[in-house]
């Protein structure tokens, strides 16, 4: 029985990573919607064995745990024993409680503002570095300020250059459906995926992970989203639904202008030896994104935004790499995603354009009673 519950829990966790949503949060919202409006419950009232962050709203616990995991570069099992998350059988959980108490005490000096958090010291490592870092040998101690600063291009020049680099708007408009297949790596778990997409905003992702985890499906049919895994079929809601709705927009990562209320060119940065133009955009929902375009190739290489949590902002990103010719287009064959502290990588083996798709493929499966 215990082994079975553990398999279901792992399937859920990987399914959440694969689909970029949280069924735990969705289920909580569904339950909350069925209750009369009342004061939100605290973490202590909803979950077992909460000893430090007792007054935190229960609905923020999942994102807060994701923030802590990402700050240390670990997953839930570093401190917890799934599925009995309330157990105290790991020393790391006791240490985490002491660290939370320490952080709260430090922040009292700043009027209880959340200035210091896990990421302040850990920076993705379980043990913070205690000594100041040495300067890099590959760069001088003092950067040269001589020379003139190159004028930045306009936002239209960057976006139009990107459109032309991937093949041009006319070539894009000739494609109304596409399919991608390949391999996926989710937190060390390796599997395969198929992604079917139809214009203007339909998508179906099928992921297959090693036994006993099995397959996970996520879809948006143009109106609603759903997820199917070993635990059943679930409707999406809240932020999970909004995210999959945005990602279902056909050519949504190419035709960018209509997705933002405003776009400005923020500067030029050098990252991993590449010169990039940085564009800041405010989406229609108010979320601010940072878009990075390669100066030489003019291609989009990263979209970045942050999700607020109880302790601080949790980074999210989508990276696009290994662009290759597919017919008259240039498309990425490597896509890395970071969602709520969980990373997964899609290595695309093949694109098929203008494939025949049936609307029924995107509809939620009927559940046998």
pLDDT tens for the chain, 369 residues long, are 333 333 333 333 344 444 433 333 333 444 444 445 578 899 888 898 988 888 888 888 888 888 888 888 888 888 998 888 888 888 888 888 888 888 888 888 888 888 888 888 887 888 887 766 655 555 444 444 444 467 899 999 999 999 999 999 999 999 999 999 999 998 788 999 999 999 999 999 999 988 766 889 999 999 999 999 888 999 999 888 998 999 999 999 999 998 899 999 999 998 888 899 999 999 988 999 999 999 999 999 999 999 888 888 888 999 999 999 999 999 999 999 988 778 889 999 999 999 999 999 999 988 765
CA gap 272, 249 in Å, rounded: 30
Residue with tokens 């996520």: 218
Cβ-in-10-Å burial (0-12, 13-18, 19+) of 312 comes to middle
Structural domain includes residue 132:
no
> Are both 102 and 159 inside the same structural domain?
no
Asked whether 292 and 272 are in contact (CB, 8 A), the reply is no
Q: Which pLDDT score, from 0 to 100, does residue 336 have?
A: 94
Domain coverage including residue 75: 2-34+42-122
> Are both 101 and 163 inside the same structural domain?
no
CATH number where 117 lies: 1.10.468.10
Q: Which pLDDT score, from 0 to 100, does residue 23 have?
A: 35
The region, left, alpha or beta by phi > 0 then psi within -120 to 50, assigned to residue 172 is alpha
> Are both 213 and 64 inside the same structural domain?
no
Of 364, 136, 346, 358, nearest to 235 by C-alpha is 364
Asked whether 43 and 311 are in contact (CB, 8 A), the reply is no
Would you call 45 helix, strand, or coil by DSSP? helix
> Are both 338 and 195 inside the same structural domain?
yes
Q: Which pLDDT score, from 0 to 100, does residue 6 have?
A: 37
> Are both 74 and 161 inside the same structural domain?
no
**pTM of the entire predicted model:** 0.77
Q: Which pLDDT score, from 0 to 100, does residue 12 have?
A: 38
Structural domain includes residue 368:
no
Structural domain includes residue 95:
yes
> How many domains, the chain?
2
Contacts of residue 144, defined as CB under 8 A and 6 or more positions apart, other chains included, come to: none
* DSSP annotation of 135: P
Structural domain includes residue 128:
no
């Amino acid at each position: 029985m215990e082994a079975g519950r553990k398999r279901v829990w792992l399937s859920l966790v990987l399914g959440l990573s694969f689909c970029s949503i949280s069924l735990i949060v969705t289920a909580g919202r569904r339950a909350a919607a069925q209750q009369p409006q009342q004061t939100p419950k605290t973490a202590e009232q909803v979950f077992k064995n909460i000893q430090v962050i007792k007054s935190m709203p229960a609905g923020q616990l999942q994102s807060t745990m994701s923030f802590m995991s990402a700050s240390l570069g670990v997953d839930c099992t570093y401190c917890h024993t799934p599925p009995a998350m309330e157990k105290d059988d790991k020393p790391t959980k006791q240490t985490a409680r002491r660290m939370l108490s320490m952080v709260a005490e430090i922040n009292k000096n700043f009027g209880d503002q959340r200035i210091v958090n896990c990421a302040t010291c850990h920076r993705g490592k379980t043990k913070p570095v205690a000594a100041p870092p040495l300067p890099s040998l590959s760069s001088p101690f003092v950067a040269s300020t001589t020379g003139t600063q190159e004028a930045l291009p306009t936002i239209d020049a960057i976006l139009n250059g990107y459109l032309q680099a991937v093949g041009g708007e006319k070539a894009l408009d000739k494609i109304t459906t596409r399919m991608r297949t390949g391999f996926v790596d989710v937190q060390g778990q390796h599997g395969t995926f198929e992604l079917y997409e139809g214009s203007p905003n339909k998508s179906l992702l099928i992921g297959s992970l090693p036994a006993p985890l099995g397959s996970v499906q996520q879809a948006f049919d143009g109106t609603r989203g759903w997820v199917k895994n070993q635990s059943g079929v679930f409707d999406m809601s809240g932020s999970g639904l909004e995210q999959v709705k945005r990602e279902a927009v056909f050519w949504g990562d190419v035709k960018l202008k209509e997705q933002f209320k405003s776009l400005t060119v923020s500067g030029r940065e050098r990252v991993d030896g590449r010169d990039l133009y940085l564009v800041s955009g405010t989406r229609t929902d108010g979320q601010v994104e940072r878009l990075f375009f390669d100066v030489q190739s003019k291609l989009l290489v990263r979209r970045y935004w942050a999700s607020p949590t109880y302790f601080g902002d949790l980074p999210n990103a989508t990276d696009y790499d290994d662009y290759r010719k597919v017919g008259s287009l240039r498309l990425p064959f490597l896509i890395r995603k970071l969602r709520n502290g969980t990373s997964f990588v899609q290595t695309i083996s093949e694109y098929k354009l203008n494939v025949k798709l049936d609307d029924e493929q995107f509809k939620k499966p009927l559940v046998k009673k």
